[in-house]
Structure 1
Amino acid sequence: MYHHFLADLASTGPILLVAALGVFVVVLDAFRNDDAAIPWIAGLGMAVAAGFQMLAIGEGRTAFDGQVFVGGPAAVANVIILIGAIASVALTVPYLSRIGRNYGEVHALILFATAGMMTLASAGSLVTLFVGLETMSVCLYVLTGLVREESTANESALKYFLLGAFSTGFFLYGLALLYGATGTMDLTGLAAGLEETGRNGLFLAGVGLLLVGFFFKVSAVPFHMWTPDVYQGAPTALTAFMSTASKAATFVALAVVLSRALPPELVGGTVQLVLVIVAAVTMVGGNVVALMQTNVKRMLAYSSVAHAGYILAGLAAGSAEGYGGALFYLLAYTLMNLGAFGVMGALEWDAEQGADQDLDSLAGIGYRKPFLGVAMGVFMFALTGFPPLAGFIGKYLVFAAAVRADLTWLAVLGVLASVVSGYYYLRVLVVMWMKSPDDAPENAKLAFPVSRGTGAVIVVCGIALLLLGILPSHIIDVTLAAFGADAVVAVAP
């Protein structure tokens, strides 16, 4: 391993750069408290890391004796994570400045969380998997409770921490059982280790506990109960970060475990059965409960739960096409959610980070702020899965993979769930464009200017969703090739 130390450092350079930037920001903030240059340093540094990561997209390899995957799905996932982090930094500066919380430490935490997410998505061993997951989680716990004076923020942070710690116990115990069953920590060596030991019962128990930990982090039913409270209580701009980048990292880590660590007969058998059941319940449960929400952030939280179900449907296919389709879906989902939360952050009028921001407060927004009204229309249609936006392509890819895996009923259920979701997504647009501005509460009529950073994120996300929907072939090739899938075969059901 040490003979290739410098080469391994170079291979993992983007992750190390983001982590080093976090340390640098902490030191800089100690001498120049809340300096205006800190967000620029964080954003530009992550943009450089994203550039280097794009160059690494291609055939996958390992670094540090198999502890870290480089290239392949790890590279694509890290680009998605960095897109979410950079956009979140741009959203947080005007948002947190408006509520008086634009601390330098916030951007340091975003950098550390991003480094943890990239480590999680690149994990080549059980130890690396756990280190990345916990680095990400601890930072998100702190960011959730950023506004300590608000009871909703404190409650959300406490719930997130307690349930997160509980799920970590399952995850860690699962890792211990997997090591006991195989005698190795390397993901690629688990299947071979199981053949040598023959401890199938112990291995199955470890896989089950590992899946519980993953299901919690991606907000799958019934492990989703923290999601609406955390989304509602956290600062809106930071909710955009935790709902996109962290989900991308966790889903890719799960896909890597399924595709590289577990025996194929297990992935196509017991594990597939579990994924199918959880995907079905998550799609239905998330959409049905979202129908009853009046708070916009809680509605988007249950929407996030439903989208986790769609992605799980792709993973349940157990094929390279399903994993690659899920990767494309994660890119589209990141753009959709960043834009939607960006709009909601710009429209936020209450003093509780949107905790009291209900649908009625959006009455007439389309006429008072047509830019935000039109942009929200794009994001709501994309989340529903309307063509020609990227959300439609993402759903097509994961459902097509499910059909090819003889899970047609699951794909049909996903399509029906998407139809149901159209009601609460389009309800937002009905309130924005078809209700009188006079119906909105007086506080909601405050004229918050849309900052350049927020406007830029909203415009870029909207244009990217349109381009990915009209000209998706190149990105589809990249995401499917990351898992070794044939793009021509994957697109045709």
Structure 2
Amino acid sequence: MSPNVLALLPEIILTAVGVLVMVAEPCLALGASRKPLGWLAILGTLAAGGASWYQLSFGRITAFSGTIQVDAFSVFFHFVIAGVVLVTLLGSLDYFEGNATHAGEYFALSLFGAVGMMLMTCSVELLMVFVGLEISSISTYIMAGFRKGQATGSESSIKYFLLGSFATAFFLYGIALSYGATGSTTISAIAAGLGTSATPTMAFLALAMIIIGIGFKVSAAPFHVWTPDVYQGAPAPVVGLMSTAPKAAAFAVLLRITFSGYASMEHRWAILLWILAALSMTIGNLGALVQRDVKRMLAYSSIAHAGYLLVAFTAFPREGIAAAAFYTATYAAMNVGAFAVVTQISGYNESLRSLDDYTGLALKRPVLSATLAFFLLSLIGIPFTGGFFGKFYVFTSAMHAGHVWLAVIGLLNSGVACFYYLRLLAAIYTHPTKATVSPALDNLPYRHVSFSAEAGLTLAVAATLILGVFPGPILALAQRAGIATLPSLDAPAASHTRESDATLWCTQHPDECNAKVDATAH
């Protein structure tokens, strides 16, 4: 198999299946079910995940003139993205039944969005990252306004598009300035060029603009203003997807750029990310405290979790990358699971929106209520859940690097978060009186949870539980991803282009290379 085909095998599969879904959709009768298209998209997602696992056995794969690099790092995030898309598709097979005739477009856009996200994680050239970012963004812009008959859906899509375009401009300016300062847009060449650059200030300004662009995608404060309105107006399964998978891809890009491309400037960008982490945690949790709408509350919660993840960027490189990758996986599992439950409870019209509407929910839907409670406890960080170990690794890695105060701010914010998560949990298990019973809940029709939705929720629960009880295998893969991201003499030796990659690495890092050779000689 050609290295170019092998490097993009998951993306090729997803693209082919997405096109097939689009071609098949018009062939179905106007009132016919679109579930077969959903199952086809699910099979394509599983095949893409299997292709990523197949790539893992090849070590490092370099393709398309060095713009694509598939290694343990990119494969780890491929798994996360494929898992999120799989749970989302399983949970939303029945979401559009009887309400929309364009469900086929939803399944195709989910796959195309995943193509862009996966492309971002394996790109080591900034313009290629931009291509993946736009593929992902265009898909999610459309999906945010998928409930065309509701004004909030259109508002959500327009706000997301306008602010997203504005943030993309910052990212492009950052790429342009990076080229001006270092003479390249390839991450490894940028790292080599920083040592000889005559304009280090321009290089740092370029990185700052790139961080602004990525900060929008991950909902980090102060670039979070779009998040509550977009999450509130978008369909629940779409929010579950866009709050996890695009963030995973964006954080993967930021990890590569900072720890690999701009590693020599860590003493400068670490301070910037320290401030963004503290702001995101504090603003996110304080904003969630005053929310009565459940989706807006979870939106501010996602801002806070972006801050928790940014804490890992202040740690030592190998430990920080592993902690960030592990936390990304845990956050993806518990957050997509929480929104999958909201999808099953509220339905297409989302009749349950406020905290009052959830009062006494456990009396009507005990199993779904218990599942949502489990995800809320994991989001808090209760032991034996993935959320606990995710925060533990992130805060521990920050403390090892000497950022004790940032870890303290994170722990204090985790305490604040307990209030609004437990407030929703208390409402679910409160026995309502005649005065407090919600008409929306009282008139809520019983919706049978389909087999596919049960499978999706089971996967999310299992992933959250395994990450909390047996985190070792996933953490080992995250640590392997961290090693693959950092420049080292050993990493190129495992690639298909072993000799040329090692030579290139020695050219870019002469001092470290000589030290390695001297150590080997002795």
Give TM-score, length-normalised by structure 1. Answer: 0.93
* Pair 1:155–1:164, CA change in 2 (3 A): same
Contact 2:278 2:409 survives alignment (8 Å): yes
Tell me whether 361-370 or 224-233 shows the greater mean CA deviation.
361-370
Residues 318-327 or 229-238, more deviating? 318-327
Contact persistence 1:174–1:207 (CA under 8 A): yes
1:336 aligned partner:
334
Q: Aligned residue for 2:299?
A: 301
Aligned-pair distance for 1:62?
A: 2.3
Residue of structure 2 aligned with 1:285, choices 254, 263, 283: 283
DSSP-derived class of the 1:65 partner: coil
Change (3 A) 1:94 1:440: farther
Say which is worse superposed, 169-178 or 457-466, in terms of deviation: 457-466
Instruction: Give the Cα–Cα distance (whole angstroms) in 2 for the partners of residues 464 and 280 of structure 1.
Output: 28
Counterparts of 1:394 and 1:101, CA distance in 2:
40
Which residue identity does 2:391 align to in structure 1? K
Q: Distance in 2 between matches of 1:259 and 1:16?
A: 29
CA contact (8 A) 2:87 2:460 kept: no
Task: Indicate the SS of the match to 2:276.
Answer: helix
Is residue 61–residue 71 contact of structure 1 (8 Å, CA) maintained in 2?
Answer: yes
Q: Does the CA-based 8 Å contact 1:56-1:75 persist in structure 2?
A: yes
Count of residues in Structure 1 that have an aligned counterpart in Structure 2: 478
Q: Does 1:480 align with 2:482?
A: no
TM-aligned CA deviation for residue 444 of structure 1 = 2.2
In 2: Cα distance, 1:304 partner to 1:188 partner: 31
Question: Counterparts of 1:318 and 1:164 in 2: how far apart (Å)?
Answer: 31
Residue of structure 1 equivalent to 2:415: 419
- Relative to structure 1, the CA distance from residue 350 to residue 131 in structure 2 (aligned partners, 3 Å threshold; closer, same or farther) is closer
Cα offsets for 1:240-269 (capped at 9, x unmatched)? 11111111111111111112111x3312x1
Instruction: Structure 2: state its 5+ residue gaps.
Output: 485-522
**CA-CA distance at 1:101 after TM superposition:** 5.2
Deviation per CA, 1:435-468: give whole Å up to 9, x if none. Answer: 3275332232312222222222222211221122
Residue number in structure 1 paired with 2:492: none
Paired residue type of 2:381: G
Q: Which residue of 1 aligns with 2:487?
A: none
2:123 is aligned with 1:123: yes
* Segment drifting more, 450-459 vs 236-245: 450-459
TM-score by length of 2: 0.88
Aligned to 2:2, what secondary structure does the other structure show? helix
Equivalent residue number for residue 93 of structure 1: 93
Q: Secondary structure at the match of 2:69?
A: strand
Q: Which residue of 1 aligns with 2:5?
A: 9
1:176 paired to 2:173? no
The residue that corresponds to 2:519 in the other structure is none
Q: Is the 8 A contact 1:92 1:102 kept in 2?
A: no
SS in 1 for 2:195: helix
SS in 1 for 2:92: helix
Check conservation: 1:54, 1:76, Cα contact below 8 A.
Answer: no
Q: Is 2:48 aligned against 1:49?
A: yes
Partner of 1:271: 269
Percent same amino acid at aligned positions?
36
| Matching of residue 454 in structure 1 with residue 450 in structure 2 | no
Question: For the Cα contact (< 8 Å) 1:350–1:443, is it kept in 2?
Answer: no
Residue of structure 1 aligned with 2:376, choices 370, 376, 380: 380
Retained in 1: the 8 A contact 2:188–2:261? yes
Alpha-carbon distance in structure 2 between the residues aligned to 1:237 and 1:350: 10
Following superposition of structure 1 onto structure 2, how do residues 32-43 of structure 1 map, counting pairs within 5 Å? 32=28, 35-43=34-42
Paired AA for residue 401 in structure 2: A
Structure 1 portions without partners, runs of 5+: 486-493
Moved over 6 A (4+): none
Give the letter aligned to residue 14 of structure 2: V
Question: Structure 1 counterpart of 2:131, which letter?
Answer: V
- Give 2:275's aligned amino acid: I
Contact 2:187–2:257 (CA under 8 A) maintained in structure 1: yes
Alignment correspondent of 1:233: 233
Is this contact kept in 1: 2:7–2:61, CA < 8 A? no
